[in-house]
Amino acid sequence: MSVEISRLANGLTIATDTMPQLESAALGIWVKAGARDEAPEEHGIAHLLEHMAFKGTSRRSARRIAEEIEDVGGELNAATSVETTAYYARVLKDDVPLALDLLADIITDSRFDPQELEREQQVILQELGAAEDTPDDIVFDHFQEAAFRGQIIGRPILGTRDTVKSFTSTGLRAYLGQHYAPDRMIVVAAGAVDHDKVARQASDAFGGMAAPGPEKRRAIARTPASYTGGEFREVRDLMDAQMVLGFEGRPYYARDFYASQILSMILGGSMSSRLFQEVRERRGLCYAISSFHWSFSDSGIFGVHAATGEAELAELAETIVAELMKAAEGIGEDEVVRARAQMRSSLLMSQESPASRAGQIARQILFNGNPITNTELMDRLGAITADRLADLAGRIFQDKTPTLAAIGPVGKLPTLDDLAGRMRGTTSSRRAAGGR
């Protein structure tokens, strides 16, 4: 597979990966604007805009949008993240022009009808209520807020009840006009597609969009993220406790990005991982445990999530800390080989799905400036050694204040200061003994 790229004079990027053996295609428009690109009074508007894009254009009603894509057996959807918003479709190969026309229509000509807006605001208010009732989801929002205290990047994507209710059609148009600039947008298609045809249609649809001037670029510049660490806990009368313990991670472009992904795989990414084997299988301290590494354009978060009963919570937290510190003391070569194989297979298998491949290409171009070849990916993974991972673990887990978020019967959970002290004590003991 090879990626073809075209760029319009106004800055819009068009990228395709043709898979001639397929009968279907996935395509979408990715915008480098998400929850992080909102002013304080706009908190939640990026997510609401994504919802409203499907509620009617000058050419199509909301019902007609749904009927046209479903008449050909296709799917149309969208998603908002911290730094991007994506609008995408899956169709059979003959229906790629229709799908791209629908996507272009909802982005360039949405009406934002006030009555539709009011209905969609109620839908999102229900989402907010459902999130509050789902502690294993909301704990991650509180975790990110604590990690980036007082910053836009730390705010939940959905917004608040007050901000969501305050938005108007005029405000939606203003946000779209400011942030949906052609040099911040990428049209990507993968599967049974022809690059020249996609590029011509994208040029017809978006070529007339004006490129932003220097003043507009300065106006939408992001405030750099600054990891703070911190603690959030909420005592609730629940059957189990949800806990996330985390640290500053690495951004997309950093040298340690793929090493951080491998480290997460070794610690809690599978049934053979250290945390799963020690915490769940050997000690039986929880029913769910996993690790993750989230990257942003200029920062990241490395975390461990676990769910357990009140009686096991204190020992669980202490055991997690102990396992993290062990990783800083040494990683086995067999673990590196296993994790590298898992990541390699995951990357390559995902490329057999047009939808996964399109998303992968979009993210790589948005955050790296260009797609990454499989050869380059495998070279990067092959350069990761056990010593490098142990060194990375020491730097991630001991350099800065951790972040802790917990919801449920969490009264027996050690404080953040106590857990951080255990890490510092481990560091001091190892250094006194002449270790790394």
- Kindly give the confidence (pLDDT) of every residue in the chain, 436 residues in length, as a single tens digit, with 9 standing for 90 and above: 589 999 999 999 999 999 999 999 999 999 999 999 999 999 999 999 999 999 999 999 999 999 999 999 999 999 999 999 999 999 999 999 999 999 999 999 999 999 999 999 999 999 999 999 999 999 999 999 999 999 999 999 999 999 999 999 999 999 999 999 999 999 999 999 999 999 999 999 999 998 877 776 666 778 899 999 999 999 999 999 999 999 999 999 898 999 999 999 999 999 999 999 999 999 999 999 999 999 999 999 999 999 999 999 999 999 999 999 999 999 999 999 999 999 999 988 998 999 999 999 999 999 988 999 889 999 999 999 999 999 999 999 987 899 999 999 999 999 999 999 988 765 444 434 333 3
Could you report how far apart the first and last alpha carbons of the chain are, in Å? 43
How high is the pLDDT of residue 217?
66
- Identify the DSSP state of 110: B
How high is the pLDDT of residue 426?
54
User: Rounded CA gap, 60 and 279, in Å?
Assistant: 54
Please name the residues in contact with 370: beta carbons below 8 A apart, sequence gap of 6 or more: 5, 364
Write down the pTM of the prediction: 0.91
How high is the pLDDT of residue 400?
84
Chain centroid, CA 40 distance in Å: 21
How many angstroms separate the Cα of 371 from the Cα of each of 5, 16, 163, 357?
Answer: 9, 11, 37, 11
Q: Identify the active-site residue in 38, 42, 50, 231.
A: 50
- Residue 42: strand, helix, or coil: helix
How many angstroms separate the Cα of 74 from the Cα of each of 69, 99, 157, 198, 328?
Answer: 5, 8, 27, 18, 48
How high is the pLDDT of residue 430?
42
Q: Is 75 a catalytic residue?
A: no
Domain annotation for the chain: domains and CATH numbers: 3-219 (3.30.830.10), 230-432 (3.30.830.10)
The vertex-363 CA angle with 245 and 404, nearest 5°, equals 10
Neighbours of 141 (CB within 10 A): 18
- Asked if residues 193 and 18 have their Cβ atoms less than 8 Å apart, the reply is yes
User: Rounded CA gap, 41 and 338, in Å?
Assistant: 47
How high is the pLDDT of residue 436?
33
Q: How many residues does the chain have?
A: 436
Please name the residues in contact with 63: beta carbons below 8 A apart, sequence gap of 6 or more: none
- Residue 283: strand, helix, or coil: coil
- Asked if residues 189 and 96 have their Cβ atoms less than 8 Å apart, the reply is yes
Long-range contact set of residues 372-378: C-beta below 8 Å, sequence gap at least 24:
374/1, 374/347, 374/348, 377/258, 377/347, 378/344
The vertex-35 CA angle with 32 and 41, nearest 5°, equals 125
Q: Helix/strand/coil (H, E, C) string of 8-35?
A: CCCCCEEEEEECCCCCEEEEEEEECCCH
Please state the φ and ψ torsions of residue 226, each to the nearest 5 degrees: -135, 105
Please name the residues in contact with 291: beta carbons below 8 A apart, sequence gap of 6 or more: 264, 267, 268, 269, 273, 275, 302, 303, 304, 305
User: Rounded CA gap, 72 and 47, in Å?
Assistant: 27
User: Rounded CA gap, 112 and 170, in Å?
Assistant: 9
- Asked if residues 289 and 304 have their Cβ atoms less than 8 Å apart, the reply is yes
**Residue 192 has which token pair?**
């049974």
How high is the pLDDT of residue 237?
94
- Asked if residues 415 and 232 have their Cβ atoms less than 8 Å apart, the reply is no
